[in-house]
Amino acid sequence: MFESSDNLLQFKPKYPHTLPQDWQDRDNPTIYEISATLDTLKSMYVNQVKDMTTGIISTEQGEENLRNIATNYQSIKSILFQPR
C-alpha cells in the first residue's frame, strides 16, 4: 500500500524555527517550508518587541530589527501569491 519515495518530505523537527537557508530547494520551497518560515519570523518579531520593552536592546536597534523582520516576512509571504 505505501511505497518508499524520494519525493516525500522528511519531517523537520526545527519547526517553527525554519529560515530560507533551511529550505531543501531555495528556488522552489514547499508550502510547509514557507509556513514554517513565516511562523519563525512571527516569533522573532514578538521576541524582538519583548526585548525592546524590557530594555535588553535599544529602541533604535530594535526598530531596525523589526523593520528587517517585517520586510522578510512580506517577501516570504509574497511567494505564496506568485503565479506558478
Domain count, the chain: 1
pLDDT at res. 1: 47
Give the span between the Cα atoms of 63 and 21, in whole angstroms. Answer: 24
Kindly state whether residue 9 falls inside one of the protein's structural domains. Answer: no
Domain that holds residue 83: 14-20+28-51+58-84
The mean pLDDT of 20-29, rounded to a whole number, is 87
Give the span between the Cα atoms of 80 and 15, in whole angstroms. Answer: 18
Give the span between the Cα atoms of 39 and 53, in whole angstroms. Answer: 21
pLDDT at res. 5: 59
The mean pLDDT of 3-26, rounded to a whole number, is 70
Kindly state whether residue 73 falls inside one of the protein's structural domains. Answer: yes
Q: What is the pTM of this model?
A: 0.75
Confidence of residue 51 (pLDDT cuts 50, 70, 90): very high
Mean residue pLDDT of the chain comes to 84
Kindly state whether residue 4 falls inside one of the protein's structural domains. Answer: no
pLDDT at 48 over 50: yes
Strands (E), the chain: none
